[in-house]
Chain A
Amino acid sequence: MNPEFDAIIVGAGLAGLTCAHKLATQGLNVVVVERGKFAGAKNMWGGAFYGSMMGEFIPHFWKEAPIERYLVKHTISFLSKDRCFSTSFATEPKTDPPGHAFTILRSQFDQWFARKATEAGAIVACGVEATDLLRDGDQFVGIKAGAESFPAKAVVLCEGVNAVLAQKAGLQGELKAQEMKLGVKEIIGLPKETLEQRFNLGDREGISWQFVGSPTQGLPGGGFLYTNQKSLSVGIVVQLSELAKQGLKANELLENFKNSWPVRDLIKDGELQEYSAHLIPLSGIQGMPKMYAPGLLVAGDAAGLVLGTGLILEGGNFAVASGLAAADTVQRCSEEKNFSADAFSRYQKILGNNFVLKDLETFKRAPEFLENPRIYNQYPDLLCTVGEMIACSDGRPRQHLSRLVYDQVREKLSLSRVIQDAVQAMRAI
């Protein structure tokens, strides 16, 4: 039997490492077990990190962390065949930090973060798979890794979307394909100068670009492109259950997306460096598991803490915030030497009082709204057609914008349906 830890954290991702860093800083005896060969080996995401939460406990983290680029521009494009209707938000580059969000490659960022947690006093044990939980009656008292047992006063599950141990603990039910989106992504290498020229970016400046419509061939989801220092992250996110229903393959959707205009010009002459895939839990607040039990907490993707509204896809900040909330809870429990369910229930209260559960509550109708096929099938075409009529002249008398939209709506959809969708959109996102 190994000596007892104050806390064992399963998974060296953003939630787990945040929790470990915070607890170790407070002087607690904490270990992170990570099944990958190193922290980040199993982790991937699209690419953008809204680092506000991390800045609170590692001030100016961007100065030392492996940041790829600083986002100065967000674009969303609606694609319909060879037409593209885009809208952008940009900020003038600043100095500290130089953008309002970051592009980050997880494998490299998580390794840096694990070093920070280690410097703070945590042990990060990589290549170790937590296979089960130790129990004493109702109380969770540690983990098993194969034949070895690791006792602990508290266990924090930050094991990611597949949530194997949260399921074993009875906190997470069966995961449903309808509540999952599958993300597939390529890292496409480009020389730094070419990339900056192509996207009109300065040194370290980056862009986040979302695509709706033809990339997913009408299925709920979208395409994305993020700029890294010397590569692009290009991928699609698509609802898992619909993929199966339509008999489509994620890799083929990605290939179509890459070969379609304008993406094919943006990735031209690039070199494939990695192909990755990951699930994103997007059930929203309805599908969230119970997040605590005596001696046990669940954080990050394992707890379904991802916000997807179509316009916003945010999991990293939620993972960090839940890791902090878990650390605060474990610390209080340790101070009071109280490891009851009641003591661990503070975790949910902390999350309820900060943006995590508030945001998920605000956008609770988003998952249902985003299943509306017209968002992916018809509205991109509508926007592009209106755009085309504004941009091009065919020699016929022009009309007011309201008339153009009205005629298109009547021709392609129906007014009542569009009003219904607009009302639903206003309530959902």
Chain B
Amino acid sequence: MSQGKIEDKLAVNKYIPDQEVHIRLNAEICRQCSPRPCLHVCPAQCYKEGSDQQVIFSFEGCLECGSCRMICDRGAIDWTLPRGGFGVCYEFG
């Protein structure tokens, strides 16, 4: 049984990784944002706080749910889906 760490859970999933980033953040808006709802709602915890008040998005574990685009009301997230054929690839679903 997993110990509940998100990294361990995502490691079980199948992904077809793309080189292209499908979600981009507006660094300026994110730096000033508080309390940063994206950090909480992303079920894959792809959003992390970096140094220098930055928000860092790592697209590799993205489950493509759309929670971040709906919770961000500052227009900081340029949200698209991975290109066709890439991204998460559920075996059970």
Interface residues of A (CB under 8 A from B): 35-38, 40-45, 105-108, 110, 126-129, 145-146, 161-162, 164, 175-177, 180, 182, 184, 186-187, 228, 231, 240-241, 243-244, 247-252, 255, 258-259, 267, 269-279
Other CB < 8 Å A-B pairs besides A110-B93, A146-B84, 11 of them? A41-B89, A128-B84, A128-B85, A129-B84, A247-B40, A251-B6, A251-B9, A277-B43, A278-B63, A279-B65, A279-B70
Interface centre among B2, B8, B66, B89 (most CB of A within 10 A): B66
Name the B residues within 8 Å of A186 (CB-CB). Answer: 9
A108 and B93 within 8 A (CB): yes
CB contact list, B1-36 vs A, under 8 A: 1-2, 4, 6, 8-10, 12-13, 16, 35
Q: Which residue of B lies closest to A250 (CB)?
A: B43
Q: Which residue of B lies closest to A110 (CB)?
A: B93
Nearest Cβ on chain B to A159's Cβ, whole angstroms: 10
Residue from A129, A180, A231 within 8 A of B70 (CB atoms): A180
Q: Which 6 A-B pairs have the closest CB atoms?
A: A127-B85, A106-B93, A129-B84, A107-B93, A244-B37, A277-B43
B93 close to A276 (CB less than 8 A)? yes
Question: Given A40-B90, A177-B71, A187-B92 in contact, is the A274-B13 Cβ separation under 8 Å?
Answer: yes
Residue of A nearest to B10 (CB): A275
Contacts of A267 in B (CB 8 A): 1
* Other-chain residue from A108, A162, A251 in contact with B81 (beta carbon distance below 8 A): A162
A249 to B45, Cβ gap below 8 A?
yes
B56 within 8 A of A: no
Interface centre among A145, A231, A270, A277 (most CB of B within 10 A): A277
Question: Are A276 and B70 in contact (CB-based, < 8 A)?
Answer: no
Given A42-B88, A182-B41, A273-B12, A255:B4 Cβ within 8 A? yes
Closest beta carbon of chain B to A239's beta carbon, Å: 11
User: For the complex, what is the distance from the CA of A272 to the CA of B1, rounded to whole Å?
Assistant: 6
Q: Could you tell me the distance in whole angstroms from the C-beta of B1 to the nearest C-beta in chain A? A: 6
Contacts A/B (CB < 8 Å), 6 sampled: A44-B90, A108-B93, A182-B43, A182-B65, A241-B71, A274-B91
Residues of A within 8 A of B10 (CB): 275
B74 on the A face (CB < 8 A): no
Report B-chain residues with C-beta under 8 Å of the C-beta of A38.
89
Q: Are A129 and B65 in contact (CB under 8 A)?
A: no
Contacts of A231 in B (CB 8 A): 92
Q: Which residues of B contact A (CB under 8 A)?
A: 1-2, 4, 6, 8-10, 12-13, 16, 35, 37, 40-41, 43-45, 63-67, 69-71, 80-85, 87-93
Q: Is the CB of B43 within 8 A of A37?
A: no
Q: In the complex the two chains form, what is the Cα distance from A41 to B67 in whole Å?
A: 19
Cα distance A107–B90 in the bound complex, in angstroms: 6
Distance in Å: Cβ of B26 to nearest Cβ of chain A = 17
Chain A residues whose C-beta falls within 8 Å of the C-beta of B6 in the assembled complex: 251
Residue from B12, B35, B70 whose CB has the most chain A CB atoms within 10 Å = B70
Q: Which of B40, B44, B69, B83 contacts A129 (CB 8 A)?
A: B83
Task: Determine the distance from Cα of A186 to Cα of B12 in the docked complex, in whole angstroms.
Answer: 10
Contact B16 A274 (CB under 8 A): no
Bound-state CA distance A40–B12 (Å) is 18
Query: Is A127 a contact partner of B84 (Cβ separation < 8 A)?
Result: yes
In the complex, which residue of chain A has the Cβ closest to the Cβ of B9? Answer: A275
Q: Which residues of A are found within 8 Å of B1, using beta-carbon distances?
A: 267, 269-272
Say yes or no: A247 contacts B35, CB within 8 Å: yes
The distance in angstroms between the C-alpha atoms of A41 and B16, with both chains bound, is 11
B16 / chain A contacts, CB cutoff of 8 Å: 37
Cα A277 to Cα B9 in complex, Å, equals 12
With both chains docked as a complex, state the minimum distance between the C-beta of A223 and any C-beta of chain B, in angstroms.
15
Shortest beta-carbon distance from A75 to chain B in Å: 22
* B66 engages A162 (CB within 8 Å): yes
Expressed in whole angstroms, the Cα–Cα distance for A243 and B35 within the complex equals 13
Is there an interface contact between B85 and A126, defined as CB atoms closer than 8 Å? yes
In the bound assembly, the distance between CA atoms of A176 and B69 in angstroms comes to 9
Contact A240 B9 (CB under 8 A): no
B residues less than 8 Å from A40 (CB atoms): 90, 93
B contact residues around A110 at 8 Å (CB): 93
Bound-complex Cα distance A308 to B80 (A): 27
Residues of A within 8 A of B13 (CB): 274-276
